[in-house]
Structure 1
Amino acid sequence: MAELANCPQCGELFVKGVITVCQSCYQEEEKKFEKVYAFIRQKKNRTATMYEVANETGVEESLITKWVKEKRIHPSHAPNLTYPCERCGNPISEGKLCSSCTITLKEDLTKESIKTVAEQQSDYSANRAYFNWNDKNK
């Protein structure tokens, strides 16, 4: 459901939906995107880095990073457009974590789940009680 919000770029009041900025800022962003995309489409610029694209087009690195994260600029079209892993800072071209951080996180979660299961089993064993109903009736 849509809600009223202030545009994070210009402060103008707008109806926030899928687009998180006002219409005028959105149109400005789209012009910048077209500029970056036209630059990357040129064969000589396909291997340009984030810094080179930002310098040549005049578009902020944060916007280019946003488009790469949203997959509006696909890594296969511009393989050197990377952004830092949220955990270690290594350059990545998709997702939030690099492969080594993903593996480490999975290992940590596996260890933690094994530990939790072991604790639950020990709690179950400690709280288990046995009754002999036949002895009670005698």
Structure 2
Amino acid sequence: MAELSNCPNCGQLFVKALRPVCDKCAREAEEKFDTVYRFIRKRDNRSASMDEVHEGTGVEKDLIIQWIREGRLRISQMPNMGIPCEHCGKTISEGKLCDSCRNKLTGELKQGDKEKEFEDRKKQSERERNKTYSTLGDRVRRDD
């Protein structure tokens, strides 16, 4: 259901349904996108860096980075263009993390899995050790 909200950019009241900003700000963002897209489509600008695109278009770097992360701008054909790793800030061409941060995170997750597995085995061993058995005549009864 649509809700009434204030635009985070300009503060204007609008019905928040499909977009997180008002129509006016959405149109301005699309115009900026078109400006950046036209700029990087030119053969002369394909080797431009993020700073050069920012200077050449006047569009904020944060918006350009957002469009790249959303997949609206593809930088695979632009060797000098990159976005910052969300963890360390190193320039990367795709994704959210650089290889070293991704590998570090993967290693930490694997280590966490190993620790959890060790704890689970330790608990299972403790349960096995605490089992008691008693005999009642002909039957054997197990107490857990």
TM-score, with structure 2 as normaliser: 0.86
Structure 1 runs (4+) deviating above 4 angstroms are none
Tell me the equivalent position of 1:10: 10
Q: Which amino acid aligns with 2:5?
A: A
**Letter of the structure 1 residue corresponding to residue 95 of structure 2:** G
**Aligned partners of 1:54 and 1:38: how far apart in 2?**
13
Alignment deviations for residues 41-97 of structure 1 (CA, whole Å, 9 cap, x no partner): 000101101110110111111111111111111122434332211111111222211
1:53-68 alignment to 2 at 5 Å? 53-68=53-68
* 1:30 Cα deviation from its structure 2 partner: 0.7
- Please state which structure has a larger fraction of its residues in strand: 2
The equivalent residue for 1:84 is 84
2:4 partner SS: strand
- 2:142 is matched with which residue? none
Moved more, 68-77 or 33-42: 68-77
CA contact (8 A) 1:32 1:59 kept: yes
How do 1:41-56 residues align onto structure 2 when only pairs under 5 Å count? 41-56=41-56
Identity of aligned residues (%): 45
2:76 touches 2:93 (CA, 8 Å); kept in 1? no
Question: Displacement, 1:17?
Answer: 3.1
Unaligned runs of 5+ in 2: 139-144
Opposite residue 9 of structure 2, the aligned amino acid is Q
Match of 2:141 in 1: none
Q: Which has the higher contact order (CA 8 A, sep 6+)?
A: 1
RMSD: 1.6
TM-score by length of 1: 0.90
Match runs of 1:11-30 below 5 Å: 11-30=11-30
